[in-house]
Amino acid sequence: MTFEEIHQRLAGKFGAAIGPLAPANKDSFAVVPAAEIVAICRHLKDDPDLAFDCLMNLSSVDWPKKNQIEIVYHFWSYAKRHSFILKVALDRAAPAIASVESVWKAADWLEREQFDLMGVQFDGHPDLRRIMMPDDWVGFPLRKDYKEQPSWHNITTTRENSLEGYVRLDEFRKKVAEAASATAQASGAAAPTAPDKDAAAAKKEVLQ
């Protein structure tokens, strides 16, 4: 089924709760209210014509100027070979939505990730705790206004620019080469040089 056909199917079931199909650069999507997310997801999975047996991804987008955090659900049906996208807008100050872990077990870690990194509360989740950051970490690292702590348990969180490490490595190699050259000159040994074309040609004649 196309995005349009799936959208019509949902609108026929849930009416005004299904927002209009919004055009996008790649894939269209529909916005739905948070209060209906579990019922809509269960229908997407259980309706034999839709058969969305896979929650392919659950992500979120931070919109500070709109005071919203947007939850994005990507669905896929292995049986029907079609996909669909839903979005839910939450209050950024206290983002909360019902868990869909009871519909797709895959939501377990996906929701924990958004809880950990964006601070979204998934009500009814069986084990909602951080999955990447330490349990006592302060703040949500993927929010656009996040400010990292200078340290955690006396461990610095400041990281050097990796390019500066490469510059230091190049300088170290130059010093090693210069020291080797100076040692060779002091001992009177000639630094090895690559054979020129004439020498290479003479060597080839000898070998023939």
| Domain contains 197 | no
This prediction has a pTM of 0.75
Q: 7: domain CATH number?
A: 3.30.460.80
CA atoms in the 13 A half-sphere facing the CB of 156: 3
Question: What is the count of structural domains for the chain?
Answer: 1
pLDDT for the residue 27: 83
> Is 180 among the domain residues?
no
**What are the mean pLDDT values of the chain's consecutive 10-residue runs (208 residues total)?**
93 94 83 97 97 97 97 97 97 97 97 98 97 93 91 81 82 89 78 51 47
In a domain, 10, yes or no: yes
Q: Quick check: is 42 in a domain?
A: yes
State the burial class of residue 143 (Cβ atoms within 10 Å of its Cβ: 0-12, 13-18, 19+): middle
* Cα–Cα nearest to 89, from 130, 54, 124, 60: 60
User: Is 151 domain-assigned?
Assistant: no
Range of the domain at 72: 3-142
